[in-house]
Each structure stands twice: as structure tokens, then as C-alpha cells.
């Protein structure tokens, strides 16, 4: 259980800056998710922490010790690769005991620990199989068991669920989270799936093109996105963004509701919403449509809970509103979050749309 810190960590591959000056501090026992689209530098960052990639610049500290130039084996961490990287020539037992062998543990102790690790993931009956005789889900468990058996200071997981089918993924997500809680090991978990990230992370670091855009709890990221990238990357469907003259305004689809639904006394911001398509999803309805932005019509989505029984038809215009407190304001040029602009400066445009 160690604190992991990166200080101004940089990784360049030729001209590509894969990781651009990242400062992170992952607390003891914390579950940190690195979230970002493909090519955002998540794997590169993780591999530098593991010691598999040399940083171009910056520092890595594990448990307060500078390990920047230490080989992986000196860092007391374990890693689960996306491919699981099981040793194909060893059976499951030898796979799991391989890290213990490196420590020179005698056979009896290794056996005890392997059985303990196997029991966590319910794979005791597979110990004599070779990796090629296992299903995807079983392989993933073997890889996890091999990662915990050494009781490392840090866990690194690189998209460990992406090779599983959707159903297995949900249960595996739960399992990983539960055992991490139980043994309380500092964990860095890489994913490009925001649902996975929101569900599992104590905190999430959102990355894009090598830069860290925001670091915070799932709630913070959702409620207070630092910029338009974070806003549009999280949530399904993601936040709506509409360009206005002085800024970009953003609001979540579930906050974009028919006029009649909201309390009349709250300060609201209204739009003429032209519905183009209605999608019924059981608990919710998604309304896809257009509103008028500063640079012409903008596609946005409304998520209407099934409690609202109003009828909506494609092709018609309705008046939809957002509570003023649910509006986020972003800078036009940088996309960065800015303090709320005085309501009146924006309102005339909105009113104009309504009328």
C-alpha cells in the first residue's frame, strides 16, 4: 500500500508527446482511474509508473521513494495487461506462483499463497490447466490472481475488461472493485469506458492527447467539468453544448426539460427545442433535436424521465428550459470553464429564440 506520485512526467515518442507534464498524487488505498479516448497517453503513463517505459522528463515516486530510473522489479507493483499476458508454457498454478518464485519463496509457502489468491477469484479448480484451455473470463481471473498473490504495494490495470463480453464485464467490474476495497491496495486503472470509470473510481483523471484535463471524484467531474472536453466525454448521453455570443453554455440532458415540469419560481433559461426523434428506453425517453445557437442550429439531447407523461412528436417545436443553477459556462476559445455570466447578458438571445 503505497502513495504513487508523478511530477511533471513527460513521455515523447519522436515528435509525439504521449504524456505531457502530468502531476498526479494517488493516495494510499485509492482507486484511481485514468480515463481518456484512444491515444490519450493512458497506457504510456501507466507503463512509466510500472518502469516498462523510461520517462522523457519528470519524476515518479512510489511510497515516497524516487523510482524514476529503477527497473520494474524494484518497484513492488503488479500489473495486469490488456492481453492478460499469461505465460503460455506454464499451467495456472505456475503462472500465479511465478512472481513468488522471483522472491525465492519455498514451495510450501508459494503453494499456500497461490491457493489463497486462487480462492479470491474462484479459480481453485483450474490450477492444472494451461492458459490456452481457459475462457476469456477465466484468463482474466488468473491474471488478477497472479497480480494479488505477491501482495504488492500498487496495482496497475490496463483495460483489463476490454476483452470480455458485456455481461461478464459488469460482474468483473464489481469483483475487481470489491476485492480492491477488501485488500485496500493503491490501484491505477486505465480505461476508455466512462461508465466503467464512473462506477469504479474513487477519483478519475481525464486525459486527452497527453494532457490531464481534470482530476476529481466522479461527482465532481459530472457536476463541475473543468472544460468542454470533460463535459462531452462523460455521461451517456454527454452534456449538451450550445454556442452563445459570449461563451459556450453546457447542460446535462436530464436537466433539459419541458417548461411545465420545472417549478415556476426557479430562474430558468429557455430554448425553442425542435424534436427530430424520440427514443423510448424504459425508464427514460431521449429526445433528439435542435436548438438555435450563435452559429446556427445545434444538435442536443433531452433525457426525460418516464414520470413526465407529456407527449412529444418528432417535427414539432416545444419550449424546454434549464434551471440557471444547472448551466455551466465555458470559454469560447479555450473551452475552459468560466464563472457564470450575469444571467441578463445571455437571456436576451435566449428570449429571442423563444419568441
Partner 1 sequence: MTNGNYILRQVARYGLIYAIVTLFAVFAALPFFQMLVIAFKSDADFNNPRENIPFWFNEAPTNEHLTYLLEETQYLTFIWNSLLIGVFVVGITLVFATPAAYSLARLTGRQGERLGILIFLVYLIPPTLLFIPMSRVVSFLELQNSKWALVVIYPTFTIPFCTWLLFGFMKTIPKDIEEQAMVDGYSRFGAMLRVVLPLALPGLLTVVVFSFMLTLHEYIYALAFTTTSSEKPISVGVTTELVRGDVFFWQSLMAAAVFVALPIAVIYNLFLNRFVSGLTMGAVKG
Ligand X SMILES: Nc1ncnc2c1ncn2[C@@H]1O[C@H](COP(=O)(O)OP(=O)(O)OP(=O)(O)O)[C@@H](O)[C@H]1O
When binding is defined by CB under 8 A, the residue of 87, 223, 310, 343 that contacts partner 1 is 87
Which CB, 87 or 107, lies closer to partner 1? 87
Min dist CB 298 to partner 1, Å, is 43
Under rule CB under 6 A, residue 344 binds ligand X: no
Question: Please, what is the Cα angle at 226 between 240 and 21, to 5 degrees?
Answer: 130
Binding site for Mg ion (CB under 5 A): 43
Report the C-alpha gap between 134 and 43 in whole angstroms. 26
Which CB, 16 or 267, lies closer to ligand X? 16
Pick the stretch among 44-52, 198-206, 307-315, 344-352 that binds partner 1 (CB under 8 A).
44-52
Under rule CB under 8 A, residue 160 binds partner 1: no
Min dist CB 155 to partner 1, Å, is 11
18 binds, among partner 1, Mg ion, ligand X, none (CB under 5 to 8 A by kind): ligand X
Residue nearest to Mg ion (CB): 43
The side-by-side arrangement of strands in the sheet containing 154-158 is: 77-80, 154-158, 186-191, 31-35, 203-208, 211-216
By the 8 A CB rule, do 195 and 236 touch? yes
Min dist CB 71 to partner 1, Å, is 7
Which CB, 192 or 303, lies closer to Mg ion? 192
Min dist CB 255 to ligand X, Å, is 30
When binding is defined by CB under 6 A, the residue of 6, 26, 31, 44 that contacts ligand X is 44
Report the C-alpha gap between 203 and 35 in whole angstroms. 10
Amino acid at each position: 500500500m503505497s502513495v504513487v506520485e508523478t511530477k511533471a512526467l513527460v513521455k515523447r515518442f519522436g515528435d509525439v508527446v504521449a504524456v505531457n507534464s502530468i502531476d498526479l498524487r494517488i493516495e494510499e488505498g485509492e482507486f484511481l482511474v485514468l480515463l481518456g479516448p484512444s491515444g490519450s497517453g493512458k497506457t504510456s503513463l501507466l507503463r512509466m509508473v510500472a518502469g516498462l517505459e523510461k520517462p522523457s522528463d519528470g519524476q515518479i515516486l512510489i511510497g515516497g521513494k524516487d523510482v524514476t530510473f529503477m527497473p520494474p522489479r524494484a518497484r513492488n507493483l503488479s500489473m495486469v495487461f490488456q492481453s492478460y499476458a499469461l505465460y503460455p508454457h506454464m499451467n495456472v498454478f505456475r503462472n500465479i506462483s511465478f512472481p513468488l518464485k522471483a522472491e525465492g519463496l519455498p514451495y510450501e509457502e508459494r503453494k499456500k499463497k497461490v491457493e489463497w489468491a486462487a480462492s479470491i477469484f474462484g479459480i481453485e479448480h483450474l490450477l492444472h490447466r494451461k492458459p490456452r484451455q481457459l475462457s476469456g473470463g477465466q484468463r482474466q481471473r488468473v491474471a488478477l490472481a497472479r497480480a494479488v498473490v505477491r501482495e504488492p504495494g500498487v496495482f496497475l490495470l490496463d483495460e483489463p475488461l476490454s476483452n470480455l463480453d458485456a455481461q461478464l464485464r459488469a460482474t468483473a467490474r464489481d469483483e475487481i472493485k470489491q476485492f480492491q476495497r477488501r485488500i485496500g491496495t493503491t490501484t491505477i486503472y486505465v480505461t476508455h469506458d466512462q461508465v466503467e470509470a464512473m462506477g469504479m473510481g474513487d477519483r478519475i483523471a481525464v486525459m486527452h492527447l497527453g494532457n490531464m484535463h481534470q482530476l476529481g471524484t466522479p461527482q465532481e467531474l459530472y457536476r463541475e467539468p473543468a472544460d468542454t472536453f470533460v463535459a462531452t466525454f462523460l455521461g451517456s448521453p454527454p452534456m449538451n453544448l450550445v454556442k452563445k455570443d459570449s461563451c459556450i453554455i453546457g447542460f446535462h440532458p436530464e436537466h433539459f426539460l419541458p417548461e411545465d415540469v420545472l417549478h415556476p419560481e426557479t430562474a430558468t433559461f429557455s430554448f425553442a427545442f425542435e424534436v427530430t426523434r424520440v427514443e423510448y428506453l424504459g425508464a427514460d425517453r431521449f429526445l433528439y433535436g435542435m436548438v438555435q445557437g450563435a452559429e446556427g442550429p445545434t444538435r442536443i439531447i433531452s433525457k426525460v424521465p418516464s414520470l413526465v407523461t407529456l407527449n412529444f412528436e418528432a417535427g414539432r417545436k416545444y419550449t424546454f428550459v434549464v434551471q440557471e443553477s444547472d448551466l455551466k459556462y465555458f470559454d469560447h476559445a479555450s473551452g475552459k470553464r468560466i464563472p457564470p455570466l450575469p444571467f441578463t447578458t445571455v437571456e436576451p438571445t435566449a428570449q429571442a429564440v423563444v419568441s
